[in-house]
Amino acid sequence: MDKPEISGNTIKIPPSHKFLADVDNFLESILREYKTEDSVIADIAISVSELVNNAVTHGRKAGNGNPVTVEINHQNNKIKVSVTDNGSGFNPDELDDPLADENLLKEVGRGLFIVRSLMDTVDIQTTNQGTTISITKTIQ
């Protein structure tokens, strides 16, 4: 796989950060169909970009070249987005606190914290064979 592939409400991208904009364009086009407010679109787009950034990084570390998959679903008044990679997983309990004084000026390490701050729910399923993070956000 060397370029994004779209099928219905799912986009798969090669494990490269250069495809972040493709995911963002796909996500925004779907959210606009549901007449989502700009501010909510931004919150979801920021969160998905964080998850895709992490998924690409994890996928690259695993070195398997497998794609990152982003699936978007709408039910009732909620949007659910799931981001899946085939990396080696991580322990969310071992992440540094980005608000701690010693971490405040670090350039990285606050992505998942931001996602948790912006979304209604965040569900993390991770093993040593891959990770799926699902987020939900009320859009109306």
Partner 1 sequence: MKLSDREQDGIVILEPKGKIMGGPDATLLNDKLHEIIEAGQKRVVIDLSQVNWMNSTGLGILISTLTTLRNNDGELKLANVTEKIQSLLVITKLAPVFDSFDTIDDAVKAFK
Contact residues for partner 1, defined by CB under 8 A: 16-18, 20-21, 24, 39, 42, 45-46, 49-50, 53, 98-99, 104-111, 113-114, 117
Structure tokens given for 86: 């085939």
Task: Report in angstroms how near the CB of residue 18 gets to partner 1 at its nearest.
Answer: 5
Task: Report in angstroms how near the CB of residue 13 gets to partner 1 at its nearest.
Answer: 11
Torsion, Cα of 27, 32, 35, 39 (10° steps) = 70
Nearer to partner 1, 59 or 111 (CB): 111
- For residue 22, the SS3 value is helix
d(CA 66, CA 131): 12
Nearer to partner 1, 103 or 129 (CB): 103
Task: Report in angstroms how near the CB of residue 75 gets to partner 1 at its nearest.
Answer: 25
d(CA 87, CA 64): 8
